[in-house]
Structure 1
Amino acid sequence: MNTKQRFVGVMSGTSMDGVDTVLVEIENNQIRLLNSLDFPFPNQLKQRLLNICLGQPTNLAEVGELDHLLGHLFADAVNALLKHANCPAESVTAIGNHGQTVYHRPDGDAPFTMQIGDANIIATKTGIDTVADFRRKDMALGGQGAPLVPAFHHSIFATSESSVVVLNIGGIANISVLRPNQPVIGYDTGPGNMLMDAWCSIHRGSKYDKDAQFAREGVVVPELLTQLMTEPYLLRSAPKSTGRELFNLPWLEQQLETMTLTSQDVQRTLCEYTAVTIANEVERYSVGDKPELLVCGGGAYNPLLMERLTELLPQWCVLTTDQRGVDSNNMEAMAFAWLAQRRIHNLPSNLPEVTGASQLASLGVLYPA
């Protein structure tokens, strides 16, 4: 497939700290970032979504209204990107829109996942064909519907004689394990920034712990760390995925019930919890003399977290994906642009060995402009 085409990727993750948009060019299975824009997420809309994600009572009218409002938000984000890039809509083949996850329950008798943000509105308001609803086809085939990004990682990061693990630290942390001559593995390791951000918001009034200043004021509390490590999800084998439905403030407050700790000690321990749960998984996959851990997502900018990963994984070369030529801020949005390109050309885009699906599939539903 030699056609050079432009695609837009749109990603709003569990942190809801903004709508990430990218404009990419794909040719001969090579992807090139042309432009990007972080579009603001309205605070009131974010709070309404968090209420649903945390299990507060809701109704169909509320969900439908949020679906509509998010459709307009994502469309506005794409139009702002195109204006910023001076790129006409007619030159873009399709938009890949992840949507906003409000619930993800891949296990049980009736597994389901729900991403909202009406793709009909996006396609109509931008004038560009839009691909959305990427996860449910994989789940219909018995998979977890997540993570979907490992297939993209596999396409852009080659391995030679040593392991490459791509670690995305968003609200949740997930890894893509690329080993020479072995199937790709990928799953959610546990919390990324989610618990740290939530605790920082309550106790410092800021969206995140900039430069880990809050965490550096505290110390790791072994009793709390030990308690957090008893979470059953950590002991499950892959394929597995998780989200805000599990790792949230009520969950954390339950862990803290019998303890009296300073807020900064809790923050420092939460940072350690993220680092340890990631490192425990990564170290399983060391192959060769020069294994690499490539970090992207917001957590790549947490210096304390990066320090601890480097210390906990002394045999690994810990880098950001920027140092391998891929913008760490835009990795996931680029992945959904790539997924849209795969859907447009009816090419498989899931990895059954990662998600647990019964077969390969071209994921996503096309919404014509």
Structure 2
Amino acid sequence: MTTAPGNPDAPLFIGLMSGTSLDGVDGVLVAFSPEGKAELRQHASSPFTDDLRAELLALNTSGTDELHRSALAANGLVRTYARIVQELLAQAGVAPSDVAAMGAHGQTVRHRPREFDGTGYTLQLNNPALLAELTGITVVADFRTRDVAAGGQGAPLVPAFHAGVFGRSGETVAVLNLGGIANLSILRADGGVLGFDCGPANALMDFWCHEHTGQWFDARGDWAAQGRVVQPLLGALLEDPYFRLEPPKSTGRDLFHPEWLRTRLATHGGLDASDVQATLAELTAISCADDLKRHAPDARELIVCGGGALNDHLMRRLQAHLPGVTVQSSLAHGIDPQQVEAAAFAWLARQCLLGLPGNLASVTGARGARVLGAIHPV
């Protein structure tokens, strides 16, 4: 993936991403060569308003009048998407008609694949029809449900894109996305790909930080760095059976939510808030490092993307647990860590328009390759 302008006639796609961290929306304008090589043209981002963020967070758990509230929250989310799209087009000096399509993932509020009836479900708040109306651009959305219908987890979907961008023949490379949830892509030396969710990344740290400091996130991890890891609490957190599950597996706020944390804190009272933050950072670092050691012991490089790549304390803790591995931000490879996932959904939109698979059965556990997404023509 490159960032310098290349072929001016290459088809343009937009990718939009608002992840489980609920920090806002990232959008990218990407040009793709006929071979699928991505060239980043423009990036824009916007935080959520406090009201929208609070409502999206609340809709992750059962509440009153959910259908009505979800529909309105989806409209609010899409209006934020539309502003990002308009900013991208203005900055790049291109018209809506110049963009082949945009991939709009939506906001995941429930993720329960394979549960209840054997199929389960995954829910992303979105209104792609409204987004097409507001922007004048074809929208591709609903990427996860076809994979779930085919028996898969519906997540993570980015490993196939990671393989194209970061994979190297003859060398195993790992890519760790630290959003609300941590997901790991293992790009094997022989071309094979494995990917899965490791557990919580920013979701619990952001919750704890906001509850005790009023800030939405712990900038650079400075607050966590002031605390000490509480080993008994860390051990209790790591006892959750999810960490011992074998891939394919995926998770979200359905499992790793504030009550999950409060339940475990109840038997570890009197702790300093900064010590809890340090322990949550350690939970992310050690669970991700252990997964890398278990599933890719030959990896010598871990490329980190997502908002967690900007958490200096977390990056230091990852490196401490992986002494034989080079841990570095995707920025070292020329890609801003905040832009990687959005670019992946631009790629997924292109795959859908071309009628090409977007999932990897080796990652999600689906019965096979599937074309992902529903197209909403302009």
TM-score with structure 1 setting the length:
0.96
Aligned to 2:279: 269
After superposition, what is the alpha-carbon deviation per residue over 1:307-357, rounded to whole angstroms, capped at 9, x for unaligned?
Answer: 111111111111111112222110000000000011111111110010011
Asked if structure 1 preserves the Cα contact closer than 8 Å seen for 2:108 and 2:123, the reply is yes
Output the amino acid matched with 2:126: G
After superposition, what is the alpha-carbon deviation per residue over 1:257-284, rounded to whole angstroms, capped at 9, x for unaligned?
Answer: 0212010110111111110000000112
1:249 to 245, 254, 258: 258
- Structure 2 residue 292 is matched with structure 1 residue 282: yes
Aligned to 1:33: 40
- Structure 2 residue 64 is matched with structure 1 residue 57: yes
Aligned to 2:316: 307
Output the amino acid matched with 1:278: C
Asked if structure 2 preserves the Cα contact closer than 8 Å seen for 1:196 and 1:267, the reply is yes
- C-alpha separation between the residues in 1 aligned to 2:187 and 2:106? 27
Deviates more, 1:260-269 or 1:177-186: 177-186
Output the amino acid matched with 1:24: V
- Following TM superposition, by how much is the alpha carbon of 1:243 offset from its aligned partner in structure 2, in angstroms? 0.5
Deviates more, 1:175-184 or 1:146-155: 175-184
- C-alpha separation between the residues in 2 aligned to 1:287 and 1:54? 37
2:228 to 188, 207, 219: 219
- Structure 2 residue 115 is matched with structure 1 residue 105: no
Aligned to 2:99: 92
- Following TM superposition, by how much is the alpha carbon of 1:362 offset from its aligned partner in structure 2, in angstroms? 1.2
2:12 to 6, 10, 21: 6
Structure 2 residue runs of 5 or longer lacking an equivalent are: 1-6
- C-alpha separation between the residues in 2 aligned to 1:158 and 1:60? 42
- Following TM superposition, by how much is the alpha carbon of 1:358 offset from its aligned partner in structure 2, in angstroms? 0.4
- Structure 2 residue 28 is matched with structure 1 residue 22: yes
Alignment of 1:143-162 (within 5 A): 143-162=152-171
- Following TM superposition, by how much is the alpha carbon of 1:52 offset from its aligned partner in structure 2, in angstroms? 1.1
Asked if structure 2 preserves the Cα contact closer than 8 Å seen for 1:11 and 1:21, the reply is yes
Asked if structure 2 preserves the Cα contact closer than 8 Å seen for 1:143 and 1:352, the reply is yes
Task: State the aligned residue count.
Answer: 367
Asked if structure 2 preserves the Cα contact closer than 8 Å seen for 1:54 and 1:248, the reply is no
- Structure 2 residue 177 is matched with structure 1 residue 168: yes
Aligned to 2:247: 238
- Structure 2 residue 374 is matched with structure 1 residue 365: yes
Output the amino acid matched with 1:92: V
TM-score with structure 2 setting the length:
0.94
SS for the counterpart of 2:293 is: helix
Q: Percent identity?
A: 44
Output the amino acid matched with 1:48: E
- Following TM superposition, by how much is the alpha carbon of 1:183 offset from its aligned partner in structure 2, in angstroms? 2.4
Structure 1 residue runs of 5 or longer lacking an equivalent are: none
Deviates more, 1:312-321 or 1:140-149: 312-321
1:142 to 138, 148, 151: 151
- Structure 2 residue 334 is matched with structure 1 residue 325: yes
Aligned to 2:126: 117
Deviates more, 1:323-332 or 1:218-227: 323-332
- Following TM superposition, by how much is the alpha carbon of 1:86 offset from its aligned partner in structure 2, in angstroms? 2.1
After superposition, what is the alpha-carbon deviation per residue over 1:107-152, rounded to whole angstroms, capped at 9, x for unaligned?
Answer: 3133001111200011111111110000001111000000000010
- Following TM superposition, by how much is the alpha carbon of 1:179 offset from its aligned partner in structure 2, in angstroms? 0.9
Aligned to 2:86: 79
SS for the counterpart of 1:187 is: strand
- Following TM superposition, by how much is the alpha carbon of 1:287 offset from its aligned partner in structure 2, in angstroms? 5.5
Deviates more, 1:170-179 or 1:151-160: 151-160
After superposition, what is the alpha-carbon deviation per residue over 1:28-73, rounded to whole angstroms, capped at 9, x for unaligned?
Answer: 2110110100123111111111111033333322222222222222
- C-alpha separation between the residues in 2 aligned to 1:60 and 1:35? 35
Alignment of 1:328-339 (within 5 A): 328-339=337-348
After superposition, what is the alpha-carbon deviation per residue over 1:169-218, rounded to whole angstroms, capped at 9, x for unaligned?
Answer: 00100000011115210000000111111100011110111122211221
- C-alpha separation between the residues in 1 aligned to 2:72 and 2:328? 42
Asked if structure 2 preserves the Cα contact closer than 8 Å seen for 1:275 and 1:309, the reply is yes
Output the amino acid matched with 1:264: S
Indicate the RMSD between aligned Cα atoms, in angstroms: 1.5
